[in-house]
A and B are shown apart, each in its own frame.
Chain A
Amino acid sequence: MKDVELKMLERAKQLLESGEVARVIGWKKGEFYFDPAPASFETVEELGDFVYNGFCGANLSKYLIQASKKEGKTAIFLKPCDSYSFNQLVKEHRIVRENIHVIAIECQGKLDIEKIKAQGISAVTEVEEEGESVTVSSLYGETKLNKAEILLGKCASCKGKTHQVKDEEIILHEMPAPINNRFDEVAKLEAMTEDERFAFWREQLQKCIRCNACRNVCPACSCVKCVFDNPASGIEAKANDDKFEEQLFHIIRAFHVAGRCTDCGECSRVCPQNIPLHLLNRKFIKDIDGLYGEFQAGETDNGKTPLTSYTESDVEPNNALGGEAK
């Protein structure tokens, strides 16, 4: 992975030095190995903090909404899954494609520090990645972990290694094959009774603190003013005062991104209460696939989405239960 990082850094330097781009969006070193933050680099000096490692899970594409409207070109590093979000944003005219230079980068699956800590490891100071094994050092000792156990939720059902968009690429090694299991958990919930499902979602959504992290990180949530922030909408609220509001926010949000959600998994990654929000979006994706034919948002940067098109023989809503036409 180190070689990929060096190559990226070298390319970023070239692009900035030659003046081809005005800024490069990537990741910046944090306080530890495991907490890099998204950053925009405008000079070669700033690149001193540049980093790319197993903890660069953040999807950078949403930052382009602002960056692509600035003076000069912006170069951005996109992992395969981020490239779907990029296309979707282009399709919705939220970013200016001509102002962006997309560098497709290699991804071997990203790691989740919370999962490392959940193994009972506290005070982590260093993490070392080596192929499939990860060595975690803490003030209390050293532990060797298997990469598969500590992958980010979204990487545990990876959409695969193909970039949907690129202007150039930095891929030095073979990338993992897609893991086709993303509907397994949805199917499990569908198999439950109504009562069980209700109990499951009550328990999960009760944790919601309405921090809006899921909404603000979501590349599909790009409204200039969200209905939940708009006093004229009638549903504006800053906190969930009632179980209804806990449900309302997540139902409306999931519906609003239905057919546009690329399943990038950022919502679940950022949730401070670890609510499995991706299971909401995946239900819509699964139903759309089942009722209207397979569709992957962000595969292309043009064309209609399932909710902006129809056929005359579409299934009747009363007969659509379970996501399959009866």
Chain B
Amino acid sequence: MLKIAKERLNELYAKINETMGLFMPIKKAGEVNYHVWGEGKEVSLETLKTVKSPKNMFFPQTENMMKFKTEGKNIEIVDVREKLAAAAEDKPFVMFGVKACDYKAIEVLDKVFLAEPVDTYYQIRRNAATIVTLACSKPEESCFCSVFGIDATAPQGDVTTWLDENYLYWQANTEKGENLTKLVETLFEKGGEAEVETQKANTQAILEKLPFANLDLSRFKPENLNELFDDTRWEEMSEACLGCGTCTFVCPTCQCFDIRDFKTNEGVIRYRCWDSCMYSDFTLMAHGNSHTTQMQRFRQRFMHKLVYYPSQNDGLYSCVGCGRCVNKCPQRLNIVKVIKTLGGNKND
């Protein structure tokens, strides 16, 4: 294990930034999101939940897919992936300070975008990224990652780091992580095992005390699909839902998108953008819409996270307990209320 003094972190960022892109939680106009690092930027590693999750780095909110250029009777199709791949090869990037839940969320997305047929746009960015995770030391009340078997004190990733009052501790886990370590090794000194163990133990104690630590997921199984789907309580759970897309857009695992065309002066840009199952025009088809009420849309979101996705991915839930929806829902509805209503609490 390696360590670097907290005051020297800027040197570390600068060193990485010499040859690679560096994205990390940075405060801009009052809110912390993943932004490109630069000298003088307000880095906020201790922020547990950036407003937009790191998924935005691999699966951006809007992304051009191809362009159609028209000239007379000819249409030229421009594949933007060539440029994207060249840029990625030229300048791979580091995602720094990713929390355990958000890293797990990237794994959830990998199963969707990297499975056949592979989403090459996602793949190009994903391959170009080295992910440096940061263990949590001060989880908050809305956190419930432990319910999904995630260890916030020892996140995975290419490199795992821990931060205390004095040092950042560094542990490479993969080949990509080793390569990054080689790049910055000179800044580090050895040691820190004991400190990391202490921090882990302290955090673990807090994690156990968190109010949502005992959520019971046992009912959310493929075999209960129909029963859960037909539950009469969806109506009551969704009645205050505004149908906005906040929960889906701040969610690190929501993956639905829409594909649209935009007319330019010389042709058409085909782009994709995040979509939300909370919207009235979600999956709109020529015949109309498959979800006609807000209750159905609301149900879709939670059934997807807790039943549909796991039934196709060996029981892996597509919620990671980051708690962003708990904090951000305008009317205070969230997945915890759904789990408690339909599933229960282990202590009840």
Contacts and interface: CB of A to CB of B under 8 A. Distances in A.
A and B, direct touch (CB closer than 8 Å): yes
Interface of A: 30-32, 35-40, 58, 63, 114, 117, 122-125, 138-140, 203-204, 206-207, 209-213, 215-217, 229, 237-241, 266, 269-270, 272-274
Nearest to B246: A211
A209 B60 CA distance: 11
- Counting chain B CB atoms within 10 Å of each CB, the highest count among A32, A138, A206, A210 belongs to A210
Contacts of A63: 240
Contact of A273 (B31, B239, B243, B248): B31
Contact of B30 (A266, A269, A274): A274
Given A217-B242, A269-B330, A272-B250, A240 B138 contact: no
A63 B250 CA distance: 25
B190 interface: no
B62 A213 contact: no
B274 to A, nearest CB: 6
Interface in B253-312: 258, 260, 262, 271, 273-276, 279-281
A241 B141 contact: no
Contacts of B333: 37
Nearest to B245: A211
A226 to B, nearest CB: 9
Nearest to B206: A139
Given A203-B29, A272-B51, A274-B31, A238 B141 contact: no
Contacts of B276: 211, 238
A272 to B, nearest CB: 4
B243 to A, nearest CB: 6
Nearest to A63: B240
12 contacts: A30-B337, A31-B337, A38-B240, A63-B240, A139-B141, A207-B31, A211-B245, A212-B279, A215-B244, A238-B273, A238-B275, A270-B246
A25 to B, nearest CB: 10
Nearest to B262: A241
A32 B242 contact: no
A50 B173 CA distance: 50
A241 to B, nearest CB: 4
B328 interface: yes
Nearest to A202: B29
B260 A32 contact: no
A318 to B, nearest CB: 31
Closest 9 CB pairs of A and B: A270-B330, A239-B273, A213-B244, A216-B242, A37-B332, A241-B62, A216-B244, A211-B245, A38-B240
B244 A212 contact: yes
- Counting chain A CB atoms within 10 Å of each CB, the highest count among B30, B48, B336 belongs to B30
B52 interface: yes
A239 B61 contact: yes
